[in-house]
Structure 1
Amino acid sequence: MKKAYLSIAFAFFTFLSFAQTEVEAIGKTIETYLNGSSYSDMEQIQEAFYEEAPLYLSKKDQELWVLTPKEYAELFKNRKSGEHNGRFGKILNIDISNNIAMAKAEIRIPARDMVFIDLFLLKKLSGEWKIISKVATLLPNEKS
């Protein structure tokens, strides 16, 4: 009986260790995107995404704005790479199911009084987590 409990406990802790490692790997991918967009690093932004991933964004006077990772990264080309541009991102949660995951992040731009929520779909491809889709929304101004 004691052996059975030890086997179950070992399996449980092995699973927890694996899950924690995957959460860390997904977090690293999202942080790569967040850091790239906060420091206008076009290469780092693209690194987080699957090359053909669609990004569904909002734009003034346009209900849906769809970009590729390369097109999105190019939005930062006129900013100085490596210098903080006023965007502050943080991961809010991560949910994993085998080789797919969902993540949610908040991006604040205090100077422009803006808060975005980004939702990401990720897939483990060739042993590496990549963002395969992103959707973003601008939250209503809290002062209004």
Structure 2
Amino acid sequence: MNNHQQTTEQVRCQLAEDTDFLLGNRFLKQQGQATAGRQDLLFTLDVGQTLVGATWLRKLDGDYWLRSLFVSADYRHQGLASQLLQTVRHHIETLEQANILCLAKPELTDFYLKNGFQSLAFQALNATWQAQFSPYLQQHPTWQIFTTQP
């Protein structure tokens, strides 16, 4: 499948448990992404019977840190990452009643804004989140912080 071909197969985004959790982590590891721990929430994205995306979240100070949102190159530019992100947001915002924060490369700004996230200044973070994000931002000073909080 090329980048501009829309999939007609069934798309399924879900909170991964048991075997799906292991498969989601294996997928992320194969893509060179960080993997989830057992205490984390991992979500997978399947097209038909093929695992094509995953992301995971770690609870921190009452909210969640979105990590390793990844969709296979052949399945990008079809809205699938947005579908995965909307599934995650629904779960976290309605079931957990928490906010989501993430760090993103500058080229992903439009993606996060389009999906209802807002840019957040480092100084607006509490001490726990500043301590967590600081090493990443020192290594990647152009990365931005995004949040779902109002």
Is TM > 0.5 for Structure 1 vs Structure 2?
no
- TM-score w.r.t. length of structure 2: 0.28
- TM-score w.r.t. length of structure 1: 0.29
Q: In proportion to residue count, which structure has more strand?
A: 1
Q: Work out which of the two has the higher radius of gyration on C-alpha atoms and give 1 or 2.
A: 1
